Structure 1
């Protein structure tokens, strides 16, 4: 996995934009990124694993009812 600096240089985007994109990928279950201190902790999820149920975190239930 490229470093945040490498992603910034290669994409021409700001770190904040890259982080936002990675968080969206995590939310959509394309990646997992438990330790967000470094991109080396990102795990790409294979297509057949995306359909598996992911345990909800503490704020998921209230966020579901306020956003949907």
Structure 2
């Protein structure tokens, strides 16, 4: 289970990568989270330890590779099952 700040940083990384086609800089993470560089670095290390990201070059946030964009919350969504009826029921029964 991720801490709130870890989850927030992971979502920021994911949203930047999908929406802007790049990862945020450390300065952008400081602005978005309101945390210090030291706190953000620790969160990124936590995310790496929990296999959400790969961060080989610790000098640059832009070198992060996202493995999972969100955590599995432990809740299982019900899968939508395909209808067993066909659309002719609509025309024949109504």
TM-score between the two structures when normalised by the length of structure 2:
0.48
CA RMSD in angstroms, aligned pairs only: 1.2
Aligned equivalent of 2:33? 11
Aligned equivalent of 2:63? 41
SS at match of 2:48: helix
Q: Is the alpha carbon distance of 1:12 and 1:41 closer, same or farther for their aligned partners in structure 2, counting shifts above 3 Å?
A: same
Displacement after TM superposition at 1:24 (Å): 0.2
Larger radius of gyration: 2
**Deviations 1:7-59 (Å, cap 9, x if unpaired)?**
00111000000000000000000000001110110000047xxxxxxxxxxxx
Higher relative contact order (CA 8 A, sep 6+): 2
CA distance in structure 1 between the partners assigned to 2:32 and 2:67 by the alignment: 23
Any unmatched runs of 5+ in structure 1? 48-68
